[in-house]
């Protein structure tokens, strides 16, 4: 993760905001939706995670991205200035509620004095009030200075500063919610999808290709199988069908992982690559349809299909062929 953290420190402002937007979509905080603002007149907000449809009239989290130059950590003066914006714009009605969580995203870290303030919330509150004239009054807007009015002071005194935290490059690099952002923003290859295994009971989602294979096995045996359960109980074809089910669900796990952590577009490209890789083998003449299934499985095992540079394991490539059959693109019973 060290090299990943280094690359995170080099992100430009727009890239960092995009990274955090993707990170928020995957972080598992129960966000109803995520909004990226991060531009001039953002009123102190770069990326927002809304927890309800009430948006700014309900609970929300704020992620303030602070990209610094090489070797420069986020310091207390700039951090206090950003906090001041939130209280000011809240007082002006830009958002009806204050954020339930305020996170400084500082890839290069925070200075020791700022860390001490964040770790001691009452000190952070006192520092914002004491240093308002120096760090906030002139930095909130270029049009005029914003004095610490009694209203603003009351808002600050009533806020729980334990809600303020920070994220560094090291923390982002090892966080599981970063996988999609690392792939899309940094172009890193995705990790390995968890291995999928077939449940004991047949599932509705697999019944299309299972029924096709039921007919394939019946043709090979010379007498039809009435149900898929009859195939599974058969001494010759039962184990073969169990292998196909495991491959199908391994490919299902692969699909879900890359849909959530890579991109839908990359997954579509991968599935098309599998299809184009096996379809010519599928179309060859065979003595039985079971021979066709076997030939396609063998060929799929030799292909070098990858997603974002990451080679898919053999059962995934094979299982994807059953998904193609399931979806009618390459049926085992044409």
Q: What's the gap between Cα 282 and its chain centre?
A: 35
Q: Tell me if the pTM is above 0.85.
A: no
* Model pLDDT for residues 14-66, shown as the tens digit of each residue: 889 988 998 888 886 689 999 999 777 788 899 999 999 999 999 999 999 98
The token pair that represents 42 in the structure block: 């953002």
Residue with tokens 């001691």, as numbered in its chain: 120
pLDDT at 2 exceeding the cut of 70? no
Q: Tell me which of 157 and 174 has the higher pLDDT.
A: 157
How do 310-311 and 306-307 pair as beta strands? antiparallel
Could you tell me if 200 and 206 are in contact, meaning their C-beta atoms sit under 8 angstroms apart?
A: no
* Model pLDDT for residues 99-157, shown as the tens digit of each residue: 999 999 999 999 999 999 999 999 999 999 999 999 999 999 888 999 999 999 999 99
Average the pLDDT over 68-83 and give the result: 88
Residue with tokens 């200035």, as numbered in its chain: 81
Cα angle vertex 216, ends 210, 217, to 5°?
Answer: 90
Classify the phi-psi angles of 30: left when phi > 0, otherwise alpha if psi is within -120 to 50, otherwise beta.
Answer: left
Please give the Cα distance from 157 to 169 (Å, whole number). Answer: 31
The token pair that represents 15 in the structure block: 């890239």
Domain range 2-184, CATH class: alpha beta
Number of neighbours of residue 334 by Cβ within 10 angstroms: 9
- pLDDT at res. 119: 98
- pLDDT at res. 26: 83
Give me the residue spans of the domains in the chain.
2-184, 204-326
- pLDDT at res. 190: 74
Please give the Cα distance from 153 to 129 (Å, whole number). Answer: 7
What percentage of the chain has pLDDT greater than the value 90? 74
- pLDDT at res. 310: 84
Could you tell me if 293 and 324 are in contact, meaning their C-beta atoms sit under 8 angstroms apart?
A: no
Least confident of 130-139, 147-156, 175-184, 275-284: 175-184
Cα angle vertex 313, ends 308, 318, to 5°?
Answer: 110
């Amino acid at each position: 993760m060290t090299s990943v953290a280094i690359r995170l420190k080099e992100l430009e402002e727009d890239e960092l905001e995009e990274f955090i937007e993707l990170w928020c979509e995957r972080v598992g905080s129960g966000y109803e939706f995520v909004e990226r603002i991060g531009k001039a007149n953002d009123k102190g907000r770069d990326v927002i995670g809304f927890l309800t449809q009430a948006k700014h009239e309900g609970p929300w989290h704020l992620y303030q991205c602070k990209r610094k130059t090489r070797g420069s950590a986020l310091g207390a003066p700039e951090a206090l200035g950003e906090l001041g914006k939130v209280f000011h714009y809240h007082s002006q009605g830009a958002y009806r509620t204050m954020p339930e969580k305020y996170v400084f995203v500082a890839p290069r870290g925070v200075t020791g004095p700022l860390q001490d303030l964040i770790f001691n919330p009452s000190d952070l509150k006192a520092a914002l009030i004491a240093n308002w004239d120096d760090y906030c009054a002139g930095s909130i807007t270029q049009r005029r200075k914003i004095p610490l009015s009694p209203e603003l002071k009351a808002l600050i005194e009533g806020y729980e500063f334990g809600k303020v935290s920070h994220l560094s490059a090291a923390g982002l690099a090892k966080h599981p919610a970063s996988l999609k952002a690392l792939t899309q923003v940094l172009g890193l290859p995705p990790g390995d999808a968890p291995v999928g295994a077939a449940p004991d009971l047949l599932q509705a989602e697999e019944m299309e290709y299972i029924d096709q294979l039921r007919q394939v096995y019946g043709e090979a045996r010379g007498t039809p199988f009435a149900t898929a359960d009859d195939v599974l109980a058969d001494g010759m074809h039962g184990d073969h069908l169990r292998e196909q089910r495991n491959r199908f669900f391994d490919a299902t796990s692969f699909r879900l992982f890359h849909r959530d952590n890579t991109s839908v577009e990359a997954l579509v490209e991968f599935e098309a690559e599998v299809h184009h890789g096996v379809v010519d083998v599928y179309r060859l003449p065979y003595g039985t349809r079971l021979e066709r299934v076997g030939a396609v499985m063998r060929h799929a095992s030799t292909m070098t299909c990858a997603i974002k540079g990451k080679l898919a394991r053999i059962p995934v490539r094979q299982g994807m062929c059953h998904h193609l059959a399931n979806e009618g693109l390459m049926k085992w019973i044409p």
